[in-house]
Every structure is written in structure tokens, then in C-alpha cells.
Structure 1
Amino acid sequence: MNTENHDVQNDLRNMYDECRKHMNYHVTLTMTDGSTFDGIIVEVDRDNFTVLAGEDVMERENENGSDSRQYYGDFGRPRRRFRRFRRRAFPFASLAALALLPYITPTPYPYYPSPYPYPYY
């Protein structure tokens, strides 16, 4: 019984250390119920951690009061998508996994050497 309690405390301490290490980074969080979401860890307490959880928001149809078909014919314009972050607090016991959100960096332009040497004068 004592070793099981020690293992749980060790796991919570490991999650605490991981959250402290990834603080202020955009991460993917997997909860114990199987749900996943992305967010930014902004605060870590002894028992809880606070995340700015990202959510998608779509623009309403007639938000600005004008008819969108007057400029684009019958097709209309596509609805704009926004990203909003809300502050949410979770206990460490509900966190199953934590990973950095991968970003694809653009490759720089390759260097092409000139086919002939330039004169230096």
C-alpha cells in the first residue's frame, strides 16, 4: 500500500516537473479521459496547472450589417475563422500526457553557386 502511494506521488511530481519545464510554450495536453487539446501553460501550482486553452470561433453571418452577396454575387464570402484562448485550471491527476506542439519551420533557400567566378575589380 505504501509503495502504491509513493508511485502516485512520484507520477504527480513528474507531471509537475514537466509542466514547469514546458511553461509558456504551446503544448498538446492529453487528459486521462482521452480528450486532447492544445494550449499554453501559464501557471503551475502544487496541485493544479492553468492553461490558456485554444478554441476556434467563426464569424457570424451578418455581424457588420451588410449583405455579403452584394460584392461577391451568389457565392458569398467565406466565413472568417478566429482563434481565442481561454484560461482553464486542471488538477495534475487529470493529466495523462504532455507534448510540445510541433511547428514546421520553412526551409531556407538553397545556396546555388554561380557557374563561373565573378571578376573582382
Structure 2
Amino acid sequence: MSHNHYHMYDLCKKHMHAYVLAELEDGMQVDGIITDVDDDNVYLAVPIELGMGGPGNPGHMNNPCHHGNPHDHRVFGFGYPGYGYGYPGYGYGYGYRPRRRFNRLVLPLAALTAISLLPWY
């Protein structure tokens, strides 16, 4: 393991579950929450920004990283599975679940050049 690779591994471990900005060798920057790190990769939960941007945006409906239903933009209520409350179609009821707010992104540690903490607000 190279010195830089080991340094990035330690930084990612130190900032586990923190909101960070990761910079890659090619200049690309990605913000997200570090959810895991292993000997080769860092795993990020990247926020989905629905309705923003174009094909390059992780929240864009045509992006292959988006696994949700592009027509499903409702805000859902919480309850016990199989036991609805409120009125179906108004965000509460049987079969509803909260929409997905993050995508998982796997980045190779060897490609990282910097990790910076970001504020949550």
C-alpha cells in the first residue's frame, strides 16, 4: 500500500459517517457521507437532488445511478407495513415507504487526492 493510499484510508476512517467533499485525481469533486471504507474503496452516500440539473446530475431521472421511479415524487408518511392511516393517495396508507434520498457511490482510494469536511447546513 502506497503512502498516499494509506493516508487516504486513514482520513476516510477518521471521517466515517461525516459529510465530506472528496476530490479525485481527474479534478472531479463529489460530496457525500462516508458510510464504509475497505483496503481498496471508500463508500459514499451521495445526496439525490430531484428536479435539479441535467444528465450529469445524480438526481436526474435519466441517470443510470438513479434507481427510483421517475414519476414517484410524492412525500410519504410513515407507519407500520400493512397498516395504513390517513387517506390513500395523500401520502399515507398501505404500501407506501419514504422515497430514497441517497445513492451509493464507490470510489477507489487510489484515485482520491483530498477529503475535506463539509458543514451539514
Q: How much has 1:38 moved relative to structure 2?
A: 0.7
Task: Tell me the matched-pair count.
Answer: 79
Q: Look up the match of 1:96.
A: 113
Deviations 1:25-72 (A, max 9, x none): 0111111111112100001101111111123112989x78xxxxxxxx
Instruction: Give the aligned residue type for 1:96.
Output: T
Q: Is the Cα–Cα contact under 8 Å of residues 57 and 83 in structure 1 kept in the other structure?
A: no
Specify which structure has the bigger relative contact order, considering alpha-carbon pairs within 8 angstroms and separated by 6 or more residues.
2
Within 1, Cα distance between the matches of 2:19 and 2:120?
10
After the TM superposition, list the runs of 4 or more consecutive aligned residues in structure 1 that deviate by more than 6 angstroms.
none
Q: How much has 1:12 moved relative to structure 2?
A: 0.5
User: Which residue of the other structure, out of 5, 10, 15, is the alignment partner of 1:17?
Assistant: 10
Identity %: 37
Structure 1: 5+ residue stretches without partners: 1-7, 65-81, 105-121
Q: Is the Cα–Cα contact under 8 Å of residues 54 and 83 in structure 1 kept in the other structure?
A: no
Q: Is the Cα–Cα contact under 8 Å of residues 17 and 34 in structure 2 kept in the other structure?
A: yes
Q: Is the Cα–Cα contact under 8 Å of residues 39 and 51 in structure 1 kept in the other structure?
A: yes
* Structure 2 residue matching 1:58: 3-state secondary structure: coil
Greater helix fraction, Structure 1 or Structure 2: 1
Q: How much has 1:84 moved relative to structure 2?
A: 2.8
Within 1, Cα distance between the matches of 2:49 and 2:20?
16
Q: Look up the match of 2:44.
A: 51
User: Which residue of the other structure, out of 30, 33, 45, is the alignment partner of 1:40?
Assistant: 33
Q: How much has 1:24 moved relative to structure 2?
A: 0.2
* Structure 2 residue matching 1:20: 3-state secondary structure: helix
Structure 2: 5+ residue stretches without partners: 53-69, 75-98
Structure of greater Rg: 1
Within 1, Cα distance between the matches of 2:42 and 2:12?
8
Within 2, Cα distance between the matches of 1:103 and 1:39?
10
Greater strand fraction, Structure 1 or Structure 2: 1
Deviations 1:68-97 (A, max 9, x none): xxxxxxxxxxxxxx9931011111111111
